[in-house]
Structure 1
Amino acid sequence: MMEWIMIALGGGVGASLRYAVTVFITKLNYPVNYATVIVNLIGSFLLGLVIQKLNSELILTFLAIGVLGAFTTFSTFAFDLVKLFNEKYVTKTIIYLSITLVGGLAMFALGFYI
């Protein structure tokens, strides 16, 4: 039962942080999909770091599943990707896809092996 509580609490923190990043990025007059890339890259790095460095299952559950699970967003990434493609921004679509996938894997590895 404690795991469920930690996931719920962490999810609230992660979703709030993601929203804060989105608000910050849009106030700088950047497109919303910049926020999605940023949270996914930061989240990938932090997930690698958390998995490698933490031994406590409860803290790992709170951070990895709760906070970072809610902070990062594959569904918004997929939506942004389809939207760019449908708007005929082929080059931007390829760049967005590449940065998110390759960058996310690289950031996870960096966090994991740091």
Structure 2
Amino acid sequence: MLDFFLIAVGGAIGATLRYLTSIATIPINKRIPFLTGTVFANSFGCLIAGAFTAAISVSNPFSDEITTMLSIGVLSSYTTFSTFSLEVFQRLDQPLPEILSYLFMQLVVAIGLVFAGYSFTLHWMGGAA
């Protein structure tokens, strides 16, 4: 039960940091439109995910509960892209068809489902499709 609480606390911290990243990057985004808060959060989150994974694999100074709070709570709510990227990295020793299947599911299927959800909801709500 403690894990759930710590993940929730970490999630609140990560979501707040994500929001602050978006606010902080507004001036940059006005000059360079593709450098959005999402790009910054995903890039920084991936850097932190790699560093955190390496650090805890060598010597984890945290309890399992705190490690879970930081990785699943804070980092995963800050950016799920870092989790996706870390999972791809962890699969690099698997056969290429497995890696490609994972990428296909994460990218093609997920984007297709965004389109399906958007189209269905517009149709259901009587909007233009």
Residues 26-71 of structure 1 show CA distances to partners (whole Å, capped at 9, x for unaligned) of: 1442547621111111111111221221333112111110001010
Q: Using structure 1 for the length normalisation, give the TM-score.
A: 0.58
Task: Give the conservation status (yes or no) of the 8 Å contact 1:7–1:66.
Answer: yes
| Greater Rg by CA | 2
Structure with the larger helix share: 1
Q: Which runs of 5+ in 1 are unaligned?
A: 75-100, 110-114
Q: Which runs of 5+ in 2 are unaligned?
A: 91-129
* Gap change, CA 1:58 and 1:32, over 3 Å in 2: farther
2:64 counterpart residue number: 57
RMSD in angstroms over aligned alpha carbons? 2.6
Task: Give the conservation status (yes or no) of the 8 Å contact 1:50–1:60.
Answer: no
- In the alignment of these two chains, the number of paired residues is 79
Q: What SS does the aligned partner of 2:25 have?
A: helix
The higher-RCO structure (CA 8 Å, 6+ apart) is 1
2:19 counterpart residue number: 19
* Gap change, CA 1:58 and 1:46, over 3 Å in 2: same
Q: Using structure 2 for the length normalisation, give the TM-score.
A: 0.52
In the TM superposition, structure 1's runs of 4+ consecutive aligned residues that sit over 3 Å from their partners are 30-33
Query: Mapping of 1:24-35 within 5 angstroms?
Result: 24-28=24-28, 29=30, 30-31=32-33, 34-35=36-37
